[in-house]
Amino acid sequence: METKIHPQDLPRFRVQNVPQTAYYIPDFLTEEEESYLLAKVYAAPKPKWTQLSNRRLQNWGGLPHPKGMVVEKLPEWLQMCADRIHSLGVFQDKMPNHVLVNEYQQGQGIMPHEDGPLFYPTITTVNLGSHTLLDFYKPLPGGEGDAGSTEQANIEASAAPCDERYTMSFLLEPRSLLVLQEDLYHHFLHGIAERSADSITDRVTNLASCGGAAVGDTLTRATRVSLTIRHVPKTLKVQLRLGRR
């Protein structure tokens, strides 16, 4: 990984005129790095994949749990991403220790949700293979900031028409990195519509940082793989007792 971005460079990647706080870094990866990471994702053993109705995923680092995550060492290719993101300074002194790999076929998505209380409130997303639009929604009354209500908020968000609560979208291009913090973590819901193509409107707020796309364009999706890299603060150290001598 070549281009090193330092914490002092971060402000110039801040997305303007949106609630706090988002950073969008186009070309965070080179094409070689993107191919390498995609190859690693697809080299994972088949049982590593969990098939959901509208996407499939791989969980790395351990299963986040209210009582604590039993930490599993990240494979080298994900640790490399975690290290590089850590050096941006967005996790302060914490080390990202959890990665969710999501794969979306054309037309697939993820319903509006919040990431909940098990994570340090910073989401970093490495984007591979295709663009997508990440949509943001105002929360339901009573839904926000309440640790116990995440599931409920999810269910209601998917049942109720979201149109009135739709606020804005970010265009996530291949090889880019997105960082979400503060209100964009705690307050707004995020989701990806189940669409095969995206219309670029003036609600796509990071367009100035994107290469080439303009309002009025229609972008056809391909298969997208995202690496959602986060920090789980509460971990359990399981004592392995190997044969006592």
Ligand X SMILES: O=C(O)CCC(=O)C(=O)O
Chain residues in the site for Fe ion (CB under 5 A): 115
Instruction: Scan residues 114-133 and list those touching ligand X (CB under 6 A).
Output: 115, 125
Q: Which of ligand X, Fe ion, none has residue 125 at its interface (CB below 5 to 8 Å by kind)?
A: ligand X
Cα–Cα distance, 21 to 150 (Å, whole number)? 21
**HSE-CB of 183 using CA atoms within 13 angstroms:** 9
| Cβ closest to ligand X, residue 85 vs residue 100 | 100
Torsions phi, psi of 151, nearest 5? -60, -45
Instruction: Scan residues 161-180 and list those touching ligand X (CB under 6 A).
Output: none
Cα–Cα distance, 204 to 27 (Å, whole number)? 18
Closest residue by beta carbon to ligand X:
226
DSSP symbols for 24-93: EETTSS-HHHHHHHHHHHHHS-GGGEEE-SS-EEEEES----TT-EE--PPPHHHHHHHHHHHTTTTTTT
| Cβ closest to ligand X, residue 7 vs residue 63 | 63
Question: Does residue 154 belong to the site contacting ligand X (CB under 6 A)?
Answer: no
In the list 169, 206, 209, 226, the residue contacting ligand X (rule: CB under 6 A) is 226
| Cβ closest to ligand X, residue 175 vs residue 190 | 190
The residues of the shown chain that bind ligand X, judged by CB under 6 A, are 100, 102, 110, 115, 125, 134, 190, 226, 228
